[in-house]
Structure 1
Amino acid sequence: MKWKGLAQRVFRALVVISCINIFVTACKSRPADATHPQETSTSGTIYISVDESFKPVIDSQIKVFESQHPDAHIVVNYKPEAECLRDLNVDSIRMVIVTRGLSETEETTLTNKLQFKPAYGVIAYDAVAVIVNNDVKDTLFTMQDIRAIAKGTSGYKYKMLLDGKTATSTVRYVVDSLLKGQPLSENIVAAQNTEAVIDYISENKDAIGLLGVSWIGNKDDTTQRSFLKKVKIAQIESKVKDEAGIYVDPVQYNIAYDRYPMTRPLYYILKENYDGLGNGFANFLIYEKGQKIFYRAYLLPARMAFEKRNMQISN
């Protein structure tokens, strides 16, 4: 009987141990977030919304990221900035890339909805370039000139062409920084998108166009070289007090040293509190590889500094 009782106790112990092993194995095989099975920081599929002003550089970022991680798929939708921000309330959209961060009210509302704080931060700095027709002689402007053209009070007989009249980041920049909250004047004309701005300016001498420099600043890009054959990039008077009368281009050096007067940050906003593909792509943008792509696209990297140095190598 003693041996029978001992055998029963051993059997019960083995059953308990087997159940524990099955439970542990099941836990290990379960994904970290059951709502996103098969996803890691380098695999899976996510949907993001991006300010259409940054299509060239974000296309490059996604192309490189996906080439390095073949199991990762980033489905991007380029939209006016206001629509991207509204997409933060769409469950399927994991990330947006726009030219501003969240306000306190927006952050609180989104945190309450998600039950965790969204991550966001600056990843690069962009310049708003001014383009003119190849045949016009006016290629030097002060900020007073640009503001007056936006208000319709300038001695220049130019219209101002934007990539839309509502919702875009360029329109918001004009309203906030040039018009200081005043409504858009009749002198401001809407194009369908950024490429339409370039096409219109290339065919008309009576307007200037405003667009992100990543569309037209990269002379190494064949598409942008074709744009530069159509239009000219104007220079704007330096905002440095000791540089009155000096006109500067929308290039990285002038962004970094606060010489070019029309600049804006580029933010990512991420709705993910686990190590998923959204975090993987955000880290790619923040660290060396992504920052180099911003640098090569003629934006100023916000997280890492890159310098060009001339070197002489002897055998």
Structure 2
Amino acid sequence: MNMKKTIFFFAIIGLFLMSINGCTKKPSDASDVKETAVAGSTTILVDETIFPLVEDVAILFENEYKRAKVTLISKSETEIIQMIQEDKSRIAVLAKTLDSTEMKYYNNTKKVYPRITEFGKDALAFIGNGSIADSTIVLNDVLNVLRGNANSKIKTLVFDNPNSSTVRELKTLAGIKELPKQNVFSVHSNKEVVKYVTENKGAIGIIGINWLLQPSNDLTAYLPKIQVLAVENVKVNEKNKFVKPNQTNIADGSYPVTRKLYMLNFQGSTGLGMGFASYIAGQQGQRIILKSGLVPKHFPTRQVSVRNEVE
């Protein structure tokens, strides 16, 4: 009888512990959670030229919303647009919005009405070897090289990726459809652009400024060997004719090569993509952009408390 009581006693204890474990079980993985604006999981394609910034926002978004999981995939602009068109992904962060032709395509052919959120502005940086004496560059000289005209000062123009938004932006400014076969080429990453410039004095690299403001660990070692060039802006007075891509100059438009940043959502429903768009364009996200050195769409407000007495 005592043995039976003992067994019964431990059985009750076991059931009690199991019930406690069930009550204190951690929330299921985000992939198992129904997707809402602040929960579930989603994948976002990100223009590789602004990946460090979006990665920072995603980390803080997940930290605030514990049941949300955002997977970021870094791709070139051309690759992202192709994947969206092929329905391989439905959320993207780009350094461009949709033009009227693209919007018509999605509305009429895909029957999708994308939600577009502008959240900031960045710039394209022109970098040169740290040992060169001249730390300035004339934008028209760059554009002429892109048009196929030789320039004694610029031996080579180096881009991060042939399909990148950087290439697209400069081709638009130069009014060309294709890059020339001489004196212009692309590598495979921002790090390779920086590395090439450190090894070649006559080379001018063109990359998104975000990679210089928030460099990865493997890029940091190269930064002391390069210099960010000041770009001529013919619209400003002679005293400030050459302008560097700092936050102030990007914000007031005196730096001549800037771009607006957008989040494009093709989900067609209120999911995690909508929540992330609201976050990056809201107070929290805009503070992160401001801290990164880029320019937020809306500058975060600051409340000042005035006290009658000083403690």
Give the structure-2-normalised TM-score: 0.80
* Corresponding position: 1:66 with 2:62: yes
Contact in 2 for aligned 1:97/1:267 (Cα 8 Å) = yes
Structure 1 residues 246-266: Cα deviation after superposition (integer angstroms, max 9, x where no partner): 211101211121110111111
Shift of 1:133: 1.0
Instruction: Give the structure 1 partner of residue 150 of structure 2.
Output: 153
Shift of 1:74: 1.2
**Where does structure 2 lack aligned partners over 5 or more consecutive residues?**
1-31
* Corresponding position: 1:286 with 2:309: no
Q: 2:36 aligns with which of 40, 52, 76?
A: 40
Q: 1:277 aligns with which of 269, 272, 283?
A: 272
Shift of 1:271: 1.4
Q: Residue 235 of structure 2 aligns to which amino acid in structure 1?
A: V
Contact in 2 for aligned 1:239/1:259 (Cα 8 Å) = no
* Corresponding position: 1:266 with 2:266: no
Structure 1 residues 127-163: Cα deviation after superposition (integer angstroms, max 9, x where no partner): 1001111111121112222223434421214200001
C-alpha distance in 2 between matches for 1:56 and 1:37:
27
Contact in 1 for aligned 2:118/2:260 (Cα 8 Å) = yes
The alignment partner of 1:56 has SS state of: helix
Q: Residue 286 of structure 2 aligns to which amino acid in structure 1?
A: Q
C-alpha distance in 1 between matches for 2:179 and 2:293:
29
Q: Report the more deviating stretch, 41-50 or 148-157.
A: 148-157
Instruction: Give the structure 2 partner of residue 172 of structure 1.
Output: 168
* Corresponding position: 1:130 with 2:121: no
Instruction: Give the structure 2 partner of residue 213 of structure 1.
Output: 209
Q: 1:163 aligns with which of 150, 160, 163?
A: 160
C-alpha distance in 2 between matches for 1:153 and 1:305:
45
C-alpha distance in 2 between matches for 1:305 and 1:211:
27
Q: 1:257 aligns with which of 244, 252, 255?
A: 252
C-alpha distance in 2 between matches for 1:53 and 1:240:
27
Measured on the aligned residues, the alpha-carbon RMSD in Å equals: 2.6
Shift of 1:59: 1.1
Contact in 2 for aligned 1:162/1:171 (Cα 8 Å) = yes
Contact in 1 for aligned 2:236/2:254 (Cα 8 Å) = no
Contact in 2 for aligned 1:240/1:258 (Cα 8 Å) = no
C-alpha distance in 1 between matches for 2:133 and 2:301:
35
C-alpha distance in 1 between matches for 2:228 and 2:310:
39
Instruction: Give the structure 2 partner of residue 121 of structure 1.
Output: 117
* Corresponding position: 1:301 with 2:281: no
Q: Residue 39 of structure 1 aligns to which amino acid in structure 2?
A: E
Contact in 1 for aligned 2:234/2:241 (Cα 8 Å) = no
Contact in 1 for aligned 2:33/2:39 (Cα 8 Å) = no
Contact in 1 for aligned 2:52/2:214 (Cα 8 Å) = no
**Where does structure 1 lack aligned partners over 5 or more consecutive residues?**
1-35
* Corresponding position: 1:238 with 2:233: yes
Give the structure-1-normalised TM-score: 0.79
Q: 1:108 to 1:285 in 2, by over 3 A?
A: same
Query: Percent identity among equivalent residues?
Result: 26
